[in-house]
Structure 1
């Protein structure tokens, strides 16, 4: 995608430089815009300004350094500087789950918009929300803008990033959603920001503010439901002797269903899906339509049960007692190509086995440092061999390419018993069994 920069281009600020914000800021600069990223975390600002991404995301650090050197990208802790230098302001702050309920905590979003107003937001400025919020939040914030910064507009442009593919998802999205108020200039200005993508035939959906907010949470709810559906089928297969992999393969031939995300395993985690489906359900309750989304409670419950079932399967292969048994765990991040351990199913399984008395050693290609910081009672190894040395069972709990490509024959001499539990459907069972391993997986009969 060619970089085109003109003096009439929008000048962009990105409020919040966590995973979403840092990625968005870097990619907007890569498109040729002058971009300033803003964060109250001074350490994060220093690291980004020095060309260091404070999380693992393939390809992002190289683009960060490239655009810092080109002078298109800077970082600051000052909202006033952002308001002075930019006219399109993307709000990319976090909306975590509230500690007292499943609802979304909107304090950071509210603070970002209030801070922009206080910093002197001008009548020609556009504030663009990208954070995941309950429906109705944008309408409320638009009213606040109208009162505090007359003439400034609000739009909602939800993000659909996949960790591990965030650069490509930002520069080459599968669609752009513009939530805008009628008769405003927001759509025209968003089209200017995304002109290169639109020129490459990326579909644009223009809708109202509320529908744009719903697109993101509905997409996450549908994805979570599909993942939990196949994990529910794995439970049924375990009760009946069926094979969930063969079942999923047969379902996938139906074009209405497809094959994506029909991979049974220990379920989803991370900083988005779990908290977003809970917030969606909580907001539906507030609106008086909780029954419409009541099924999301079971989606969440199926997901949590998948982790417990992995622990139960490990107990089974160990003869029901993990105490003083050696367990090797491959995977700590909630998904591959990421160092994100938020609500990580892999680490929850590892911790449950440790609490049951097992000696657990964990290895992950990117998330060892984060895992060690948050789970100091677990042992972390610096290699696959280090994690599985002397293990009586090996659990593959994050589907990194490195783990998919392991040679079971080479690994076998390092373990005490050649037993593997494939928690992600990532391994070829025929290959592992041919190398002398006992292969087990959720929803699959022992053979």
Structure 2
């Protein structure tokens, strides 16, 4: 991120757009620090979806009546808006899925099963989310392709020398997480994509933890595929995005079949429709697309650079507060340009699940467990960790409440 002077956010005004943040349990106001799992949804998104259901609810591309036309236009415009948001070259490169996981599976099945051969390599990283790791692991078993992993060093960064060793002429695809959902590490995905392309391999980027909180330009990264989810970027659940370079999507066979994705069907054969519809069979997530469109508008009105700066500032403050506690171990890089807006940690002598339960007694929502990165936790030598993750509406005062609650855990497990 460029080091320009950015106008700070009016966090108080932003919080007013999220009624859930005003909720109380046992007289204590909610402190929501589980944003890497799901962000909260502003009124603008809820209202856009509600208006769709109240005024324009109809199926798309299947009717000539007014409501169907309105719904179809709204759905198509959502593709256009998302394409603009991430620097894609038009709606043809934007496929709506259920979530990042389905986007990963779409490429793995539609491309991987057809293109991978025994002895070729799928190169992942040790910090991959299970959405990527498990999916490509299964595709490797089915195709005979080898799955290899770029090491994570002791500072929580990728070992790029090891990446250069693994990404060779046998590599067919390199799949890497843009921002680690456990370590907070911001990976050099453009450099990894360049390495992949030097060896005629494809580059897939899992951007679930990046698109919500920083400017992302898929053309600048030169990713062949890039995936993310609506519910992590102030949007609704039930909708994800797969960006793919047009020429690749045109060559790929569909992953799912049915109505809405065909051009012509006879009793003998079927042919597929245009992009992106050939990858979106059945009734798609229409209301969710409307909500995602509204979420993108809401984010851009605030400004992605400002969102990134705020989130990183809160995460830096949390890191410094937790680092000052002698019995707390933090995972991942120190604050800086290659660390995003979350902190995973453990309190000595207290299991992460117990600590999270104690946090809940203070109405503080954090995450405990392996965060769908079991192999990474094995690499770290811990069974689980507690994760506090931040977003545009979080404050330093909420971080203080998190750190203060550690004392209860110490007393209970002393």
TM-score (norm 1): 0.30
Which structure is richer in relative contact order (CA contacts within 8 A, separation 6 or more)? Answer: 2
| Structure label with greater radius of gyration | 1
